[in-house]
Chain A
């Protein structure tokens, strides 16, 4: 039996509902329909009254989750697409994120954002908003890259006493499979060395981890050993693990699927430059999507985002510097 990344998300929610009476799920089409991607399939039937269809009102969905959270509940909100969280941006960054700081009353809610590009999804169903949310104090931002992390980090997100932005990658939903669900997990806030190597470090997160691993595999055949760091969460960002990797390799490429201005890759490069400049043998590099809206046509889309090919080119460039 194999379990997909999407199955893991569903199973984590089922377990949270089963084990914690404070948990409920609220979002568009999450009830009997089971969600646009079927991440809540069957849950409304198994947990009557706790998997609730919402009107198309992202602001009110998050606002009500804040109200329930401060009353002691643990809402899991499904945004149908990460892109649609922007109508709720005010409630997320000005309200949920500030609540504990202002009042000392925790606001524990999880906002699931089906993120990132899939072929043909276009400008409004493909975005990666982790940097946007990571910018704001008071939020935890998770970006799981594996089936195991999708499961264990979602459970941890529910347990955390703060608002968590859970960026789950749509491209990984069906592609990524594991044999079984994990019984143990690394703590949130710790990055994972996804592959060891000595020639250069690729820092990546979410779907880009798999592109980076493909490059590492390909270049191993050419005698180049790349280390791949999977950030797992972008906030907190595990600077120690990144710096330790750079200490081993002396070279850094950070890859993200989001837009290039600012963002996670810029933050990683800035931290390494500030804290570990002396460890670098070459200027740190970063690779992102292009600075345009995300194109619809598959030919354009596959060039817009970083791919194994563009990452390999960037690595070869890095190794020449």
Chain B
């Protein structure tokens, strides 16, 4: 969480300095507890489809800060090799799926990976997909949860109900009491959690992952929290009311976690400060490396979208 928050803050400062190509930075501020709980509850061999506010979950699932920074800076040495940027990064061979922008689309891809695991006879894996409350309004999300339920797949759908989809409040997004009420309609198990509470998120998501893994079918976890930033760094989020910011959902999960750690004497202030120092060092090192990376050269780009090279038409290579 500390590393993710530190990385986000660095990316925001690089954005303000005009160092991010394409101009977009999307942060997970306020969602680190939920996200890290998801990433950490999975293990090698599982599959994870994070969304835009999952910097913490990505790191917990095995991404390095350097891979994140390289993608954001558009480095050809990053996992997406300058072809895709910012939050659209992943390593599919390691079960870490690179999101497309269209919300809800990743969930059925996780289903497909889990179907493939089943075909291969692997029965102890699970897959998590993140979605926001806004994304639950898509047809793709509906189709995918239903598909997972029909196939009884070990899918964990983690819904970050962060009160706003860009600027659209929940009152304009859905009309049910809570999104978790939808679980029964899909025939899947539903769980609610306070998304600002790391301990609760670890317990709830950890249990959901184990339930999925043990064959109980898809699990839907709905976490209530507040996005403590704009949709992207271009957005000042002035539409979020002070009342909501001061409500329990508006608590900063980092502060909640620190208080619990210190209150229970699970960590000392000095240890927390040390974690922060280490995180800052890791992030600074990653940025220093990535900033020295070469820029992508159009002349080195193969400009071929097909794996089957001989079927490419060569439009772009022609003089």
Interface residues of A (CB under 8 A from B): 24, 54-55, 57-73, 75, 87, 90-91, 94-95, 97-106, 108, 137-138, 140, 160-162, 188-189, 235-237
Contact A140 B112 (CB under 8 A): no
- In this complex, which of B109, B111, B115, B117 has the most chain A Cβ atoms within 10 angstroms of its Cβ? B109
Inter-chain contacts of A59 with B (CB < 8 A): 104-105, 108, 139-140, 143-144
Q: With A67-B110, A102-B84 given, can you name 12 additional A-B contacts, CB distance below 8 Å?
A: A57-B108, A67-B47, A68-B116, A70-B113, A94-B100, A95-B105, A95-B109, A105-B93, A140-B308, A140-B311, A162-B307, A236-B312
* B 115-139 binary contact with A (CB < 8 Å = 1; else 0): 1110110000000000000000001
A105 to B81, CA, bound (A): 13
Inter-chain contacts of B150 with A (CB < 8 A): 55
Write the nearest CB–CB distance from A144 to chain B, whole angstroms. 16
Write the nearest CB–CB distance from B283 to chain A, whole angstroms. 25
Write the nearest CB–CB distance from B31 to chain A, whole angstroms. 24
A97 to B304, CA, bound (A): 12
A214 to B115, CA, bound (A): 47
Write the nearest CB–CB distance from B315 to chain A, whole angstroms. 9
Interface residues of B (CB under 8 A from A): 47, 79-81, 83-84, 88, 90, 92-93, 98, 100-102, 104-117, 119-120, 139-140, 143-144, 146-147, 150, 305-308, 310-313
Contact B140 A68 (CB under 8 A): no
- Main SS class of interface, B: helix
Inter-chain contacts of B108 with A (CB < 8 A): 57, 59-64, 66-67, 91
Contact B93 A64 (CB under 8 A): no
Contact B311 A189 (CB under 8 A): yes
Residue on A nearest B109 in the bound complex, by CB: A67
**Known contacts A55-B146, A162-B307; A67/B100 CB under 8 A:** no
For this complex, 6 residue pairs linking A to B, each with C-beta atoms less than 8 Å apart, are A59-B108, A63-B112, A63-B140, A99-B92, A236-B311, A237-B313
| In the A-B complex, the 7 residue pairs with the closest CB atoms | A67-B112, A63-B108, A64-B112, A71-B116, A57-B143, A60-B143, A137-B305
Contact B143 A65 (CB under 8 A): no
Contact of A90 among B80, B105, B312 (CB under 8 A): B105
A54 to B109, CA, bound (A): 15
Residue on A nearest B310 in the bound complex, by CB: A189
Inter-chain contacts of B93 with A (CB < 8 A): 105
- In this complex, which of A63, A104, A137, A161 has the most chain B Cβ atoms within 10 angstroms of its Cβ? A63
Inter-chain contacts of B105 with A (CB < 8 A): 59, 63, 90-91, 94-95
Residue on B nearest A105 in the bound complex, by CB: B92
Contact A68 B311 (CB under 8 A): no
Residue on B nearest A99 in the bound complex, by CB: B92
A55 to B139, CA, bound (A): 13
Contact A188 B112 (CB under 8 A): no
A65 to B112, CA, bound (A): 6
Contact of A70 among B88, B92, B101 (CB under 8 A): B92
Contact of B100 among A58, A71, A73, A98 (CB under 8 A): A98
Inter-chain contacts of A138 with B (CB < 8 A): 305-306
Contact A103 B311 (CB under 8 A): no
Contact of B90 among A54, A94, A100, A103 (CB under 8 A): A103
Write the nearest CB–CB distance from A147 to chain B, whole angstroms. 23
Contact of B305 among A65, A75, A100, A108 (CB under 8 A): A100
Residue on B nearest A239 in the bound complex, by CB: B313
- In this complex, which of B90, B108, B113, B144 has the most chain A Cβ atoms within 10 angstroms of its Cβ? B108
Contact A67 B114 (CB under 8 A): yes
A63 to B151, CA, bound (A): 14
A104 to B81, CA, bound (A): 10
Inter-chain contacts of A66 with B (CB < 8 A): 108-109, 112
A102 to B71, CA, bound (A): 12
Inter-chain contacts of A94 with B (CB < 8 A): 100-102, 105
Inter-chain contacts of B146 with A (CB < 8 A): 55, 57, 60
Contact A160 B308 (CB under 8 A): yes
A105 to B144, CA, bound (A): 23
Inter-chain contacts of B139 with A (CB < 8 A): 59, 87
Contact A57 B147 (CB under 8 A): yes
Inter-chain contacts of A24 with B (CB < 8 A): 119
Contact of B113 among A61, A68, A108 (CB under 8 A): A68
A100 to B114, CA, bound (A): 20
A72 to B79, CA, bound (A): 20
A237 to B311, CA, bound (A): 9
Inter-chain contacts of B90 with A (CB < 8 A): 103
Inter-chain contacts of A189 with B (CB < 8 A): 310-311
Residue on B nearest A26 in the bound complex, by CB: B115
Write the nearest CB–CB distance from B80 to chain A, whole angstroms. 6
Contact of A106 among B100, B106, B307 (CB under 8 A): B307
A314 to B98, CA, bound (A): 50
Inter-chain contacts of A63 with B (CB < 8 A): 105-109, 111-112, 140, 143-144
Inter-chain contacts of A87 with B (CB < 8 A): 139
Inter-chain contacts of B47 with A (CB < 8 A): 67
A90 to B110, CA, bound (A): 16
Contact A72 B305 (CB under 8 A): no
Write the nearest CB–CB distance from B83 to chain A, whole angstroms. 6
Contact A162 B311 (CB under 8 A): yes
Contact A72 B116 (CB under 8 A): yes
